[in-house]
Amino acid sequence: MKILNYIYRFIRFIINNTVDLTSQFLGLMLFKANRIKFKKGVIFNGIPKLHIQGKFRIGENFEMNNRISANPIGRSYKCTFVVRKDASMIIGDNVGMSGTTIVSQKKITIGNNVKFGGNVCVYDTDFHSLDAIQRRDLIIDKENVVKKEVRINNDAFIGAHSTILKGVTIGRGSIIGACSVVTKDVPDYEIWAGNPVKFIRKI
């Protein structure tokens, strides 16, 4: 049984390393093909989904998990980045995320040393008009979408399965509890959680 275990572990090691090398190569090619500006140290654990029309810039040591084996915490999905025309997304140094979806129709800025728990979503848009009559017409609906910049400052930690909505600023070093819906600004060095998000305590 020990021999079979060693053989199994060896085969798994070979497969995992082959997958990792393939992901890294394909991920880098995908970033270059989409004209994403990125610095050294980008790590791809699986391949993300991209729809890039605007400006997308990434700092050093960016790591993303795009497959369930990379971070098996449940409800895992590929990281998805959408930057619409005339919009921008800027990610700082030493940022990590798993199955995160970020959609920018205006501007989203993420500082240095920010960590995202699994399956976090960040949107700077409502996607649709809040007026039911306007939503009946696709063109009018699109013209009346509200978009507001989102900013997540240095050293923030966003708990798993949370959603950050348009116009929000997350303060430096602050923590958002898991499964929260963030609709308002969070000051520096505070813990907020809930739906809608509420102040818990200072750090």
Give the count of alpha carbons within 13 A of 35, CB side only: 6
Helix extents (H) in the chain = 2-33, 138-143
Given 57, 128, 148, 172, which residue is catalytic? 128
Q: Rounded to an integer, what distance in angstroms lies between the CA atom of residue 111 and that of residue 192?
A: 19
* 128 assigned to active site: yes
Helix extents (H) in 77-202 = 138-143
Q: What is the DSSP string of 111-122?
A: -TT-EE-TT-EE
Question: How many residues make up the chain in this entry?
Answer: 203
Other C-beta atoms closer than 10 Å to the C-beta of 92 total: 20
Q: Rounded to an integer, what distance in angstroms lies between the CA atom of residue 97 and that of residue 189?
A: 20
List active site positions.
128
